[in-house]
Amino acid sequence: MGKFGSGEKREVPQPSMASLSDLVFTFLFFVMMVTSMREVTLKVTFRAPQATELQKLEKKSLITFIYVGEPTQEFRAKMGSTTRVQLNDSFAEISEIQDYIAQEKSSMKEEDQPFMTVSIKADRETKMGIISDIKQALREAYALKISYSAVGRVNR
């Protein structure tokens, strides 16, 4: 009769650690690509108006945001309580919008630039004159695709 096992013990070989660094860097690269690193700190109050016809914008990398509203409590002492425009993380004048749009376009790929959409996130109490001024500045900057952020109306 044959014998299946020998009397001596076998050791399990240690796994190779050479590929571990590749796995760690691959995981790190994946996390860096998927995670959004920069979020804008809102310095204006923003309560979105209600709307009936809403459409979700798909490609977030092509959207540039302009925030409009009254400064938050922490900035009211310095900025006052009148409606202000926020571009990225700083307050701005309407005359600065053209430079902002040019800077945003230059940071995009050349083939994506014609598809850039400017999303105006204006407080529902914002006067239409300010929105018209912003739209005129966007026209002068050749940013012609504009969307307005809103929340869906609750049906009762």
The rounded distance, in Å, linking the Cα atoms of 67 and 14 is: 57
Domain contains 2: no
Phi then psi for residue 30, to 5 deg, are: -60, -45
pLDDT for res 156: 52
Domain contains 128: yes
Domain contains 76: yes
Domain contains 142: yes
Beta-strand pair 90-92/84-87: antiparallel
Q: Residue 148: CB partners within 8 Å, gap ≥ 6?
A: 49, 51, 119, 120, 122
Domain contains 71: yes
Q: Is the pLDDT of residue 70 over 80?
A: yes
What average pLDDT does range 11-28 have in this prediction?
84
The rounded distance, in Å, linking the Cα atoms of 113 and 97 is: 16
Q: Where are the alpha helices (DSSP H) in 19-127?
A: 20-34, 73-79, 97-106
Q: Is the pLDDT of residue 49 over 90?
A: no
What is the maximal distance between C-alpha atoms in the chain?
99
What average pLDDT does range 84-92 have in this prediction?
93
pLDDT class of 37 with cuts at 50, 70, 90: low
pLDDT class of 96 with cuts at 50, 70, 90: very high
Phi then psi for residue 152, to 5 deg, are: -70, 145
Domain contains 40: no
**Buried b / exposed e along 2-34 (16+ C-beta atoms within 10 A):** eeeeeeeeeeeeeeeeeeeeeeeeeeeeeeeee
Domain contains 117: yes
What average pLDDT does range 105-134 have in this prediction?
93
Question: What total number of domains does the chain contain?
Answer: 1
**Which structural domain range is residue 122 located in?**
60-152
pLDDT for res 100: 95
